[in-house]
Each structure stands twice: as structure tokens, then as C-alpha cells.
């Protein structure tokens, strides 16, 4: 048993509260164990300059850890200065959401998914992807009548993500901070609802791993992502687009 009582290949309790804010067309408060993130999806009738006139939209993401989300306090990133970790994470979130999007069906508009970490206890980037997808679906439903073809929903598949790692000799799913710190191998896996990989980020921490261990890690992650997609579907209800 793990410190929080979970089995090795068990997710933390996951909750999604949609429509958490009134101003953004898509918003969800997501919790996985003690990790808590607010994801909002906002729509602008514009595109980056390099996409103008091409009839395609764009989906991007921004990620931020609020000062009180961790201890010691994390300093705010000001004046456009974003550290390397933040840049890498928000690019990952954006890539993951675009991987399942039909940008031509979106038309020339920009959707920004903001992921603000309220409390961090591991898995913030993976929960941001999983919850960001829910916020994105709600935002797309909000503007459906304004799409070039209202019958062509701008998503081709769902997407979710989870962490997995080797701690001691065990494969653990959905690592909290202490488990991530202790892991000899840790990995973030992003997959679509149809079972295709979007991204795999795996690293040995002063350790190596075998092909057999890699296959086992991916197998456990795939099962966990299947459960997360079921939770996404339950949260969205009749708005589930597939």
C-alpha cells in the first residue's frame, strides 16, 4: 500500500467541477488527490499572424503555478519572463490539445486554455491536459453556431494524460510529489481516446530501465488514461462529442 492507501496501479481520487467561473466559455476546477488546478478556455476572433487568411484556427495553452500552490512560496512570473519548466509544460498542453483538434473546422479564431495550479502535489502537467480538454469542449460548444460548419465539431478525438513511474521495484500510477521525488524512473504519458500516443516523456533519475519495464509502464499508463477518459465523459455528460 502507498502512503495515501492506494494500490500501486490506482489513480488518486479525481474530481471535475465544470462551469467554475462565469466569464470564460469553458472552465473546470480539477482535483487529483491534493493537486488542484483551475482550467479556463477563452475564445478570441483572431489568429497568430502566421495563420491569417488561411481559414484555420489555433489552440494554445498557458500554465502557471500560483505563489501559494507549493511550499516554499513560488515567486510570480512577471514582465513576460517565463521559466524553462513553465514554457515546456504549456507547450506540452497546447500540443496535446491540438493533436485531437480539427483546426479548419474551428475557423479563424484562437482558443487559449489557461491552467493555473492552486495546489501542487505532483501530476500538474498531466492533470492540466486532462482537465484542459474538458474546458476546451465546453468552449467549443459555446461557439458552435459561429463555426464555419456547425455540424462539424472541431475535435477528432479525446485526450488525457497521466504519470507513471518505477519506485523501488514497483510500477506506480499517478505519482504524488513524494513518489515522484523518490522514483528511479518517471514518465508522463499523453494518449487519445482511441488509444494512440500523443507524447511520452520518460526519464531515468540516476537510473536506467529495460524495454520490458518501459512496456510495463506504458501498459499501466494506458489503463489509467482509459479510466480518466471515462471520468471526462461522465463530467461532460451529453456534451461528450464522440
- Superfamily (CATH H level) for 14-239: GHMP Kinase, N-terminal domain (3.30.230.70)
Question: What is the Cα–Cα distance from 231 to 65, expressed in whole angstroms?
Answer: 24
Q: What is the pLDDT of residues 131-144, one digit of tens each?
A: 999 999 999 999 99
Q: What's the confidence (pLDDT) of residue 77?
A: 75
All cell numbers assigned to 186: 518517471
Residue 47's pLDDT band, with cuts at 50, 70 and 90, is: very high
pTM above 0.75, yes or no: yes
CA distance to 54, 57, 104, 112, per residue, from 46 (Å) = 12, 8, 14, 11
Instruction: Give the residue-averaged pLDDT of 202-209.
Output: 91
β-sheet bridge partners, residue 16: 30
Q: What is the pLDDT of residues 2-39, one digit of tens each?
A: 999 999 999 999 999 999 999 999 999 999 999 999 99
In sequence order, the 6+-apart residues with CB closer than 8 A to the CB of 105 are: 147, 148, 149, 152, 153, 154
Q: What is the pLDDT of residues 64-82, one digit of tens each?
A: 998 889 888 988 877 566 7
Q: What's the confidence (pLDDT) of residue 74?
A: 85
Q: What is the pLDDT of residues 149-176, one digit of tens each?
A: 999 999 999 999 999 999 988 999 999 9
Amino acid at each position: 500500500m502507498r502512503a495515501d492507501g492506494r494500490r500501486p496501479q490506482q489513480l488518486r481520487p479525481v474530481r471535475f467541477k465544470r462551469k467554475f467561473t462565469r466569464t470564460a466559455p469553458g472552465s473546470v476546477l480539477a482535483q487529483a488527490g491534493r493537486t488542484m488546478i483551475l482550467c479556463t478556455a477563452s475564445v478570441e476572433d483572431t489568429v497568430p499572424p502566421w495563420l491569417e487568411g488561411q481559414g484555420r484556427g489555433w489552440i494554445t495553452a498557458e500554465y502557471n503555478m500560483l505563489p501559494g500552490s507549493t511550499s516554499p512560496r513560488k515567486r510570480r512570473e512577471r514582465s513576460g519572463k517565463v521559466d524553462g519548466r513553465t514554457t515546456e509544460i504549456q507547450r506540452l498542453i497546447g500540443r496535446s490539445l491540438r493533436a485531437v483538434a480539427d483546426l479548419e473546422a474551428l475557423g479563424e479564431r484562437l482558443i487559449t486554455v489557461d491552467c493555473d495550479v492552486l495546489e501542487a502535489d505532483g501530476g500538474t502537467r498531466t492533470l492540466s491536459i486532462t482537465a484542459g480538454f474538458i474546458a476546451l469542449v465546453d468552449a467549443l460548444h459555446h461557439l458552435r453556431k459561429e463555426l464555419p460548419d456547425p455540424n462539424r465539431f472541431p475535435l477528432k478525438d479525446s485526450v488525457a494524460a497521466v504519470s507513471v513511474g518505477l519506485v523501488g521495484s514497483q510500477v506506480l500510477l499517478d505519482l504524488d510529489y513524494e513518489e515522484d521525488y523518490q522514483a528511479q524512473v518517471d514518465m508522463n504519458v499523453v494518449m487519445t481516446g482511441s488509444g494512440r500516443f500523443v507524447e511520452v516523456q520518460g526519464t531515468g533519475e540516476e537510473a536506467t530501465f529495460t524495454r520490458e519495464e518501459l512496456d510495463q509502464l506504458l501498459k499501466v499508463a494506458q489503463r489509467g488514461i482509459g479510466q480518466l477518459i471515462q471520468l471526462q465523459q461522465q463530467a461532460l455528460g451529453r456534451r461528450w462529442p464522440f
